Structure 1
Amino acid sequence: MTAEGIMTVEARLRRYGLRPTRQRIALADLLFAKGDRHLTVEELHEEAVTANVPVSLATVYNTLHQFTEAGLIRVLAVESAKTYFDTNVSDHHHFFIEGENEVLDIPVSNISISNLPEPPEGMEISHVDVVIRLRPKSR
């Protein structure tokens, strides 16, 4: 287990420069309790409601974006209508199962990317996201 894995949620938030408010701690507990995963604002809000955490959808949205800006999670844009938040911030890629709206990790070692274009002047590539879309085989 990594040092971050045994770190309390409060300490983890502080490490990333976030003030550990009651709502941030509650949402981070829900977000990271099940290991690496991908979820939408609506899915985390539903988990919060089920766990009797009194937060609005707007608060969940704002908190996830604060976590993203701090580097605690990352955004994965798979569809234009939905944004997924990924608790695994390491370099890796994704399968997206169409029709089921499920996102699965692909280890980075399974994909090789070469010949990336030169970024514009003054810019650098922060990371490359590969999303491979899957659907059931047609007969």
Structure 2
Amino acid sequence: MDQFFASVDDTAQSRAAAWLARAQLRPTRQRLSLASLLVGDGQNRHVTAEGLFMAAKASGESVSLATVYNTLRAFCDAGLMNEITVDATRSYFDTCVEDHPHYFWEDTQDLTDAPAGAVAFSRLPDPPAGAEISRVDVVIRLRRT
């Protein structure tokens, strides 16, 4: 379930503006509003575009789902977030861009961080000629017993 910073105050706006400035993204009203929901309290989040859209609407922001998707893609392109694809129909956007694995809880459809360093690879395949590995996403699917 997507959880967001509930109140957007001056501190949240300042954090959002600094987050956007770090990536040299223009602080448009909609970017600032969405960034405040994402990083306003200084905590990392795993969100879906639909969840962020609903949170923006609940906060009174007039924004379309397409704008939320475009903004999340811009945040990813700028290196502020990573997109984690859990299946063909669902992606999550993670505000923590450090390398780390994830747990995907099948019953609740939640994505959470797994302990960093808990997964080790002894070898990755060599990439094809003219390519390099940019990132390895590890999603560990969990089912409650």
Q: Does 1:58 align with 2:66?
A: yes
Give the alignment's TM-score, normalised by structure 1. Answer: 0.89
Give % identity: 49
Give the alignment's TM-score, normalised by structure 2. Answer: 0.85
Counterpart amino acid of 1:26?
A: S
Distance 1:40 1:121 in 2: 34
Report how far residue 32 of structure 1 moved. Answer: 1.2
Distance 1:49 1:100 in 2: 23
Q: C-alpha offsets along residues 67-99 of structure 1, whole Å, 9 cap, x if unaligned?
A: 000000010001211110001100100110102
Give 1:1-139 correspondences, 5 Å limit. Answer: 8-34=15-41, 35-137=43-145
Q: Secondary structure at the match of 1:85?
A: strand
Distance 1:8 1:100 in 2: 30
| RMSD between aligned residues | 1.2
Q: C-alpha offsets along residues 86-113 of structure 1, whole Å, 9 cap, x if unaligned?
A: 0110010011010210111012211111
Distance 1:48 1:74 in 2: 20
Report how far residue 33 of structure 1 moved. Answer: 2.6
Q: Secondary structure at the match of 1:111?
A: coil
Report how far residue 14 of structure 1 moved. Answer: 2.2
- Give structure 2 stretches of 5+ with no counterpart: 1-13
The number of equivalent residue pairs is: 131
Q: Secondary structure at the match of 2:93?
A: strand
Moved over 6 A (4+): none
Counterpart amino acid of 1:9?
A: A
Distance 1:73 1:130 in 2: 16
Q: Secondary structure at the match of 1:122?
A: coil
Report how far residue 12 of structure 1 moved. Answer: 2.3
